Structure 1
Amino acid sequence: MTLESFKKDLEFDESRVRTKVILETSFSKEIRILLSKGQIMKEHKTPFPIIIHILEGEIMLGVKGINHVMKSGDIITLEGDVPHDLTAKENSIARLSLSKHDKVERLKDLIEQ
């Protein structure tokens, strides 16, 4: 058993999106994404299905060119190979569930670009 918190040691950074692997299980990687107001994760896609859960704040999620407002408590699933982008409307905490087969480095590379 592992007990962790998505809300522990929050450090928003206005210069870049912050990510942290909170848990790695036998079937998924649970990642915290901290987005400061106005920050953008440009359009990208994943090879495997994902789940995005907004824990706090509000983001605009673009999926195939259509924008969806996601607020605290909202959760969405996306199949693999679906282009999407995120824009923080306010400081936000998002939970990203990745397949165990996906690579966290891919996410870090996206943020660094």
Structure 2
Amino acid sequence: MIYGKRFYKPYLVSDTEKARLMRELKGHEAKFTAIVLLAQNDGYLTQEQVAQLVGVRRMTLYRWRHYDYVYQYELERQYDLMSEHYSKEFRRSSRRKPSSESIMSDYANVMMMMGLT
């Protein structure tokens, strides 16, 4: 897996999803590897780099994406799962957690407004 500067936990295809993918793609290793690479490294690898890693040509990936309906469905499904993962990560990270500094500054402000300082 290729890691860049990410603020969230990266999306990893689970073992159960990998087993399901292999079953749906009828054991086609190249298609399976391409889907996993594209889903886990979305935006970090070009189609040409994925094709090199899988051992096919870029045009073969193009044909799979446009003419192989099972491949299209499984790739879209992985993208949907990845999108759901990052939505959860964003919601988790965007919850406001008050720091002790902000709590103390609020306390100081209240005391000053009440004229107790």
Structure 1 length-normalised TM: 0.23
Q: Which has the larger radius of gyration?
A: 2
Instruction: Between the two structures, name the one with larger relative contact order (CA 8 Å, sep ≥ 6).
Output: 1
Higher share of residues assigned strand: 1
Higher share of residues assigned helix: 2
